[in-house]
Every structure is written in structure tokens, then in C-alpha cells.
Amino acid sequence: MSQPSPRPVSRAERISHLAHERLGLEQLRPGQVEGVESALEGRDTLCVMSTGSGKTAIYELAGMLLGGPAIVVSPAMRQSNDEPMIERAR
């Protein structure tokens, strides 16, 4: 008797699995899967989300799934580097 073929894994499931395996995220937040899918489809993608909501993960996941180099520019990372300088200037 033959085994039933496994059901196809959706792109959203692949994204969620990769987020868990590579980034340690238990689940993605609203808008993250859509952002990754948009980037994977080659569309210019801008995700406007609050600080700490996981914007960088969107672009990291897209880069991993595309299989090539990815450059992620995160203003929050730059801001956190500037804050100590601002405090010292006061």
C-alpha cells in the first residue's frame, strides 16, 4: 500500500518555520509574513511598524529565503548607537 503524498507546504508555513529555526521566534506578528512575501515577490517593500515589532526580521527572512546576500538597513540600530553620544553631549 502506498503512502499518501505529503501535502504541499505553503510559503507562509516555510517563512514561519524558518523564523522559528533560524531566529528563535515562536510565532510571527501580524504583517510580518505579508512583508516577507512581498519582498520575495520582488516588490519594493516598506513595512511601517512600531519599534520592536519585528521589521528587521522581515528583511532577514526574505534574504534567507532568496538565498543570496541581503543588506538590511535599520534606523533603529543606528539610533541606538547615537543615543550614548547624545547623552554625553548633554
Mean pLDDT of 59-68: 90
**Tens of pLDDT along 11-62?**
999 999 999 999 999 999 999 999 999 999 999 888 888 888 888 899 899 9
Domain segments of the chain as ranges: 11-89
Q: Is the pTM of this model over 0.95?
A: no
Residue 27 CB contacts under 8 Å (≥ 6 apart), including other chains: 16
Judge: domain 11-89, CATH 2.60.40.10.
Answer: no
> What does the alpha-carbon distance between residue 21 and residue 17 come to, in Å, rounded to a whole number?
6
CB 34 within 8 A of CB 12: no
pLDDT at 40: 93
